[in-house]
C-alpha cells in the first residue's frame, strides 16, 4: 500500500492549529483566552461557561474593564426566557457580582430554569451581533467537548492589532477568528502516519492498524487495513466514528457496536478493505455531551432534538480527516459502506471518488428502535 506524504500545510497552517489546540486546552481547564478579529472588530476575553470559576470571572472583569455576558444557544435562551422568537445564539448580560455556580446553571440545559429564581427575570436577552467572534468563541467550546456556551467580555481599550501583544503582557493565550475558521482544514492537512502494527482481529485476522495524528498533537485516528487492498480498483471502505458505549460496552441504545463488528466481518469475508476509526465520539460532540443527550432522550427528546437542546447540530461531524487518511493510504476510489448520504457527499467534495454505496444495516432492538427511526426520518439515513 502506498505511503503518501501529508499535504504541506505551511507555517500559517501550523500556527493556526497550534493556537486553536492550545485555546481548547485552556478552555477545558477553566482558563481565559483572548479572541480577536480583524482591525475593525472587537477583542473578547472568552471563558467556557461550563468551566466558569470565581478566579477566572474576577480576572475577566479586571482585565476587560467591562461586565461579562454569557452566550447561550437558542433552545437554552428560549427555556430561560419563555420567548419563542430567539436567534441561534443570544447573549445575556450578567449582573454585577454573579457567581460562577450561577453561570454554570445558566449554561446547563439540564438545570431547570425555574431554579434560577429572581435572576431569571433580570436576564436580558440580546442577539449575538453579526460577525465572527461570537460564533468562533462558541465553536472553541464545542471543540473542547464542553457545552456550547461561553462567557465573554469585550476588552474596551484594546484594538485587534494590539491584541496579541496585550495578551502576552497579561499572561493570556491569544488567537484570531481566522485561526478558528481555518482549524479543521489545517488539522486535516497536517495529519501524519505515526505508527503501524499487525493486529489480528477476530473478524479479520490479516489486519494491521495505522495510527494518524496531527503534527502538533490533537486527536488520533486509526485506519484498520484488512488484507492487501488493490489500489487500482475501488476499495471497500467503512468510516466509523468511535463510540465507547456501543463499541466497547455493548450499549443497546445505538447500533454502533453492530456496525463496527459487522463492517470488519464483511471486509474480512471479502478479503480486503479499510475501516477508518475516527475520533468523533457522539457524532463529534464528545462522550460527556453524548451522555447528556441520553439524559434528554430519557426525558422525551429524540436524538436530533437532544443534540439541538444542548446547542449542537444534529451531526457535528466533518470528514476532511477521513479523506486525508485515504489520500495518504493511496486510496482514490471507494465502495463506501454506509447508510448516511452525508458521508458520500463530504468524501466526494474532498476529492474521493465514491463509486458505490454498500448498504450497512443491522436488526434493531427494543432500546434503539426509536433512534433508528429518527435517523431515517430526520437525518436522511437510508435503511
Regarding whether 96 and 217 lie in a shared domain, the answer is no
Q: Could you read off the pLDDT of 314-341 as tens digits, one per residue?
A: 999 999 999 999 999 999 999 999 999 9
Cα separation of 103 and 116, whole Å? 10
Known binding residues for Zn(2+): 243, 254, 256
The mean per-residue pLDDT over the stretch 147-168 comes to 93
More confident residue, 42 or 70: 70
Cα separation of 211 and 325, whole Å? 10
Q: Tally Cβ neighbours within 10 Å of residue 138.
A: 26
The mean per-residue pLDDT over the stretch 124-152 comes to 90
Which pLDDT does position 9 carry in this prediction?
A: 55
Regarding whether 177 and 199 lie in a shared domain, the answer is no
CATH number at residue 72: 3.90.870.10
Whether the predicted pLDDT of 134 surpasses 70: yes
Give kind and range of the element (H or E) at residue 208. strand 207-214
| Boundary residue ending a domain (154, 184, 214) | 184
Q: Could you read off the pLDDT of 372-381 as tens digits, one per residue?
A: 999 989 998 9
Which pLDDT does position 128 carry in this prediction?
A: 80
Which pLDDT does position 219 carry in this prediction?
A: 86
Regarding whether 357 and 230 lie in a shared domain, the answer is yes
The mean per-residue pLDDT over the stretch 11-32 comes to 86
Whether the predicted pLDDT of 131 surpasses 80: no
Q: 64: pLDDT confidence band, cut at 50, 70 and 90?
A: very high
> β-strand 43-48 against 33-36: which pairing, if any?
antiparallel
Whether the predicted pLDDT of 299 surpasses 60: yes
**DSSP string across 160-185:** GGGHHHHHHHTT-EEEEHHHHHTHHH
Regarding whether 351 and 204 lie in a shared domain, the answer is yes
Q: Tally Cβ neighbours within 10 Å of residue 14.
A: 16
CATH number at residue 246: 3.40.50.10990
Q: Which of 16-25, 79-88, 216-225, 255-264 has the lowest mean pLDDT?
A: 79-88
Instruction: Determine, yes or no, domain membership for 272.
Output: yes
Whether the predicted pLDDT of 126 surpasses 90: no
Q: Tally Cβ neighbours within 10 Å of residue 94.
A: 23
Regarding whether 147 and 53 lie in a shared domain, the answer is yes
Looking at the structure of the chain, the number of domains it has is: 2
Question: Which residues are 277's β-sheet partners?
Answer: 222, 240
Q: Is 311 exposed, middle or buried, given 0-12, 13-18 or 19+ CB atoms closer than 10 A?
A: buried
Which pLDDT does position 28 carry in this prediction?
A: 97
Which pLDDT does position 112 carry in this prediction?
A: 92
| Boundary residue ending a domain (184, 200, 226) | 184
Distance of CA 349 to the CA centre of its chain: 20
Known binding residues for GTP: 238-242, 259, 281-283, 303, 338, 343
Q: Tally Cβ neighbours within 10 Å of residue 22.
A: 16
Cα separation of 232 and 256, whole Å? 30
Cα separation of 377 and 362, whole Å? 17
Q: Could you read off the pLDDT of 222-274 as tens digits, one per residue?
A: 999 999 999 999 999 999 999 999 999 999 999 999 999 999 999 999 999 99
Q: Could you read off the pLDDT of 187-199 as tens digits, one per residue?
A: 899 999 999 999 9
Phi, psi (degrees; rounded to nearest 5) at 23: -65, -40
Whether the predicted pLDDT of 10 surpasses 70: no
Cα separation of 201 and 208, whole Å? 9
179 is catalytic: no
More confident residue, 380 or 86: 380
The domain in which residue 87 lies consists of 10-184
Contact 201, 18 (CB under 8 A): no
Phi, psi (degrees; rounded to nearest 5) at 153: -145, 130
| Boundary residue ending a domain (184, 201, 219) | 184
Q: Which of 10-24, 41-55, 103-117 has the lowest mean pLDDT?
A: 10-24
Cα separation of 246 and 253, whole Å? 8
Distance of CA 99 to the CA centre of its chain: 28
Known binding residues: 238-243, 254, 256, 259, 281-283, 303, 338, 343
Regarding whether 157 and 242 lie in a shared domain, the answer is no
Catalytic hit among 76, 189, 292, 317: 317
Q: 111: pLDDT confidence band, cut at 50, 70 and 90?
A: very high
Regarding whether 164 and 253 lie in a shared domain, the answer is no
317 is catalytic: yes
Structure-block grid coordinates of residue 74: 437558542
Q: 281: pLDDT confidence band, cut at 50, 70 and 90?
A: very high
Count CA atoms within 13 Å of residue 336 on its CB side.
25
Quote the percentage of the chain above a pLDDT of 90: 76
Whether the predicted pLDDT of 20 surpasses 80: yes
Regarding whether 159 and 270 lie in a shared domain, the answer is no
Which pLDDT does position 286 carry in this prediction?
A: 98
Whether the predicted pLDDT of 216 surpasses 90: no
Average pLDDT score, the chain: 92
What are the distances in angstroms from CA 138 to CA 43, 115, 292, 340, 353? 15, 25, 18, 27, 34
Contact 234, 39 (CB under 8 A): no
60-88 core/surface letters (b: 16 or more CB in 10 A; e: else): bbebbeeebbbbbbebbbbbbbeeeebee
Whether the predicted pLDDT of 87 surpasses 90: no
Closest CA to 98 of 73, 116, 110: 116
Catalytic hit among 104, 179, 315, 327: 315
Closest CA to 303 of 250, 375, 366: 375
Amino acid at each position: 500500500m502506498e505511503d503518501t506524504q501529508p499535504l504541506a500545510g505551511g507555517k500559517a497552517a501550523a500556527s493556526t492549529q497550534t493556537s486553536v489546540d492550545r485555546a481548547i486546552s485552556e478552555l477545558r481547564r477553566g482558563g481565559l483566552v483572548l479572541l480577536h478579529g480583524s482591525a475593525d472588530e472587537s477583542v473578547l476575553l472568552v471563558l467556557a461557561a461550563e468551566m466558569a470559576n470565581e478566579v477566572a470571572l474576577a480576572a475577566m472583569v479586571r482585565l476587560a474593564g467591562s461586565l461579562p455576558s454569557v452566550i447561550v444557544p437558542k433552545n437554552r435562551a428560549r427555556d430561560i426566557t419563555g420567548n419563542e422568537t430567539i436567534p441561534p445564539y443570544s447573549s445575556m448580560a450578567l449582573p454585577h457580582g454573579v457567581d460562577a455556580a450561577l453561570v454554570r446553571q445558566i449554561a446547563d440545559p439540564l438545570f431547570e430554569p425555574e431554579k434560577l429564581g429572581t435572576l431569571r427575570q433580570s436576564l436580558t436577552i440580546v442577539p449575538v451581533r453579526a460577525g465572527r467572534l461570537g460564533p468562533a468563541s462558541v465553536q472553541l467550546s464545542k471543540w473542547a467537548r464542553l457545552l456550547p456556551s461561553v462567557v465573554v467580555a469585550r476588552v474596551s481599550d484594546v484594538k485587534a492589532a494590539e491584541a496579541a501583544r496585550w495578551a502576552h503582557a497579561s499572561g493570556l493565550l491569544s488567537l484570531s477568528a481566522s485561526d478558528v475558521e481555518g482549524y479543521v482544514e489545517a488539522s486535516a492537512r497536517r495529519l501524519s502516519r505515526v505508527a503501524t502494527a499487525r493486529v489480528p482481529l477476530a473478524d479479520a485476522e490479516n489486519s494491521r492498524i495505522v495510527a494518524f495524528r496531527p503534527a502538533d498533537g490533537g486527536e488520533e485516528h486509526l485506519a484498520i487495513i484488512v488484507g492487501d487492498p488493490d489500489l487500482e480498483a475501488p476499495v471497500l471502505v467503512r468510516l466509523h466514528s468511535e463510540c465507547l458505549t456501543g463499541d466497547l460496552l455493548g450499549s443497546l441504545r445505538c447500533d454502533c457496536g453492530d456496525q463496527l463488528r459487522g463492517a470488519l466481518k464483511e471486509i474480512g469475508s471479502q478479503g480486503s478493505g479499510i475501516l477508518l476509526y475516527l475520533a468523533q465520539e457522539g457524532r463529534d460532540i464528545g462522550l460527556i455531551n453524548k451522555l447528556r443527550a441520553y439524559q434528554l432522550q430519557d426525558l422525551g427528546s429524540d436524538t436530533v432534538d437532544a443534540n439541538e437542546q444542548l446547542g449542537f447540530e444534529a451531526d457535528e461531524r466533518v470528514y476532511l480527516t477521513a479523506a486525508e487518511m485515504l489520500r495518504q493510504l493511496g486510496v482514490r476510489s471507494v465502495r463506501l459502506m454506509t447508510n448516511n448520504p452525508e458521508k458520500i457527499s463530504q468524501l466526494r467534495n474532498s476529492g474521493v471518488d465514491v463509486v458505490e454505496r454498500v448498504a450497512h444495516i443491522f436488526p434493531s432492538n427494543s432500546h434503539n428502535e426509536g433512534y433508528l427511526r429518527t435517523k431515517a426520518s430526520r437525518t436522511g439515513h437510508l435503511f
